Every structure is written in structure tokens, then in C-alpha cells.
Chain A
């Protein structure tokens, strides 16, 4: 199933690059949430995050139509485009805050460093190894569910559930449990 999904993704990407609107729709449906979450993680307001995510896809499709897109690797390309738009947005807000009277804008509204790309590392080496150690502690079954659902390939929970023979609800329950353990592991690091 993993292979078929990979093939599916590749085939969709190929069709999207050829201008197939249906393929674009399928890819957007698959990766949109991740784009929104990545924007939220950067401190973008939720309404703006949705707008920027839409804008991200519009830009990518536009680039494809102009023949500027030679390769379509999702979700990374969309995350990079979204990060660029967020940075642009933040610069505009800063400019407005200088010229206008909105200097009291909370810091989290313009936290995006323009130089930061979607490829940035969010975790230090130490945090990563702590997270990996915590992940190694959970049961193999739970770890598999977590790795299937959260490895960045955006496998929908329903597909993860079908793969492991569990209900979607149970898959989400497992995800929450693993998430709590990893959160604790990462927080330990912060407080150390």
C-alpha cells in the first residue's frame, strides 16, 4: 500500500505538472491541512493562515501554467511557498506598523524571519535525539501508527487505520498518546 501510495503521489504530481486540474485538486486536498498547520506554527493567525494556504496553491498552479514548475515535490514545495508568503506578509505588516499606529501588534503576528525556509530545522540535535529516544520507548505498534501518520507524507488517518487494522478513532487516540510522550520529552529538554 505504501508503494501504491508513492506511485499515486508521483502520478498525481506528473498529471498536475501537465496541467491536470483534477490532479491539483487531489494534491491540494491531501496537503492543504499541513500547509495551514505550518503557518499556524509560525504564528500566523488562523484566518490569515487559511488565506495564505489558498494563495500558496494559487501561486503554485500559476507557476505550473507559466511553465515555471519543472518538479512538484509536495508537501515541501507548498511549505516553502507558504513560508515565503508568510514572510512577505510579515514584512508588509512591519512596514504598516512603522507608518501607521499599529505598533502594539503582538509579537506573534510577525514572527517570521524572511530568511527562514520550510526546510529549516525545528529541533536541535539534542531535542531530536530525545524525541527519538522517547519514540523508541513506545510500543512498536503505536510507533508504527505514529510514523505512518506523521512522517510528512500526509497519509490520512483513515488510510493509516486501514493499514494497521484499527479504527480511525483508535489511531487518533494512539497519536495523542504518542504526542503526549514526545511533548514531555521535548519539554524536559527545554527545562534542563
Chain B
């Protein structure tokens, strides 16, 4: 019996492991009889391997420049961030209260670099902790922008804390941006 040819989508789903076992088996059986479909499957597999290479070599942005006195300054501002995981609300959630000034940054931060750079202005810094959670991927950009306008720090939906990042235009010494260690400013 002639089985349907592969589409790029079905080949992709197969490679991603998203096909039901019986569909995957049917697809495999077809590629054994149909050379063009076997080539299509090979192309998708090759792309998958190439993407793995691209992902594993993608420069992560975990190199965050922190002035030596960063922790002290940050403690002084009282600004903090807390994680709010998996909520589906579209609204900003503002919490006030005495949150720890140094939320522990989970290792997963390395995999999910900060998406927003905000410098804390000590003069305007709120005295209470301001926690903004953007729990929804679809609204995260909007949420981030609105929070940035209000001078707040933003949570990523996967619950890692935001870390202020200092941009090159701030006149940092050369090499400071790529430094792995805290840099004296």
C-alpha cells in the first residue's frame, strides 16, 4: 500500500519527536520505499543537527558587568525582583514589601539571559521592593516596555531574576563589558 509522501512539516515533527508512534512508524516505512522522502527526512535531520550546533555556540549573555559595589548599591536601593512562574495573567503584578534585596539567581539564568537592562537610579529608586512579573510570553515585550517606562525591573516568565546590565555607552573601561569577573569602575 502506498503511504502518503512526507511533507516538510511531518518530517520536522518526526525529527522533533512530536509524532504519535504509529504515525512515526508509517513515516519511517514510507521513507524506506520513497527516495525523495528519505532525502527530505535527511535534510530535516541535518538541519536539526546544524541547529544544535548553532544553539550550542550561540553567545550567551550571562557575562554581566557588575561594579564591585553593585551589591551594596543594590541593597541600598531596595529594589528586588521575585519570580512568578507559570501565571497566565496579562496584568502587571506590583507587590510592595520587604523582599530580600538579593534574590538568589538560579543557574538557569545562564540559559536565559536577562532581557531588559535597567540602571537603577538611586535618587528615584523606590524605597520598597517593586516586583513586576511578566508571566505570559505573548505579552512579555509589552509588559517589559511598560515596566521600563516606569523604572521597574522585570521578571522573565521562567522565573529568573533580572540583573541590571550596563551598556557600552555608559563609558565603561574597555574590556569591561566582556569581563567574566566584576570590574572595578
User: Is B55's CB within 8 Å of the partner chain A?
Assistant: yes
Asked whether A151 lies within 8 Å of B106 as measured between CB atoms, the reply is no
User: Is B185's CB within 8 Å of the partner chain A?
Assistant: no
Asked whether B42 lies within 8 Å of A2 as measured between CB atoms, the reply is no
Shortest Cβ gap from A80 to chain B (Å):
14
A45-B137 contact, Cβ under 8 Å, with A135-B58, A165-B85:
no
Please indicate which of the listed interface residues B18, B35, B45 has the most CB atoms of chain A within 10 Å of its own CB. B45
User: Is A126's CB within 8 Å of the partner chain B?
Assistant: no
* Set of chain B residues within 8 Å of A43, measured between Cβ atoms: 42
The digit string for A150-166, where 1 denotes a CB below 8 A from any CB of B, is 11100001000001111
Chain A at the B interface: SS class: helix
Asked whether B46 lies within 8 Å of A2 as measured between CB atoms, the reply is no
Asked whether B158 lies within 8 Å of A131 as measured between CB atoms, the reply is no
User: Is B51's CB within 8 Å of the partner chain A?
Assistant: yes
User: Is A147's CB within 8 Å of the partner chain B?
Assistant: yes
Q: Which residue on chain B has the smallest CB distance to residue A182? A: B51
Asked whether A141 lies within 8 Å of B16 as measured between CB atoms, the reply is no
By the criterion of a CB under 8 Å from any partner CB, how many residues of chain A are at the interface? 48
* Set of chain B residues within 8 Å of A150, measured between Cβ atoms: 48, 51-52, 55
Q: Which residue on chain A has the smallest CB distance to residue B86? A: A165
* Set of chain A residues within 8 Å of B16, measured between Cβ atoms: 157, 172, 175-176
Chain B at the A interface: SS class: helix
CA distance A46 to B29 in the complex (A): 8
* Set of chain B residues within 8 Å of A101, measured between Cβ atoms: none
By the criterion of a CB under 8 Å from any partner CB, how many residues of chain B are at the interface? 50
CA distance A162 to B157 in the complex (A): 11
User: Is A144's CB within 8 Å of the partner chain B?
Assistant: yes
Asked whether B56 lies within 8 Å of A151 as measured between CB atoms, the reply is yes
A46-B49 contact, Cβ under 8 Å, with A1-B108, A3-B107, A108-B38:
no
CA distance A5 to B48 in the complex (A): 22
A33-B17 contact, Cβ under 8 Å, with A40-B41, A43-B42, A132-B59:
yes
Which residues in window 51-110 of A have CB below 8 A to B? 106, 108
CA distance A63 to B107 in the complex (A): 34
Asked whether A45 lies within 8 Å of B52 as measured between CB atoms, the reply is no
Asked whether B54 lies within 8 Å of A46 as measured between CB atoms, the reply is no
The digit string for A9-46, where 1 denotes a CB below 8 A from any CB of B, is 00000000000000000000000011001101101011
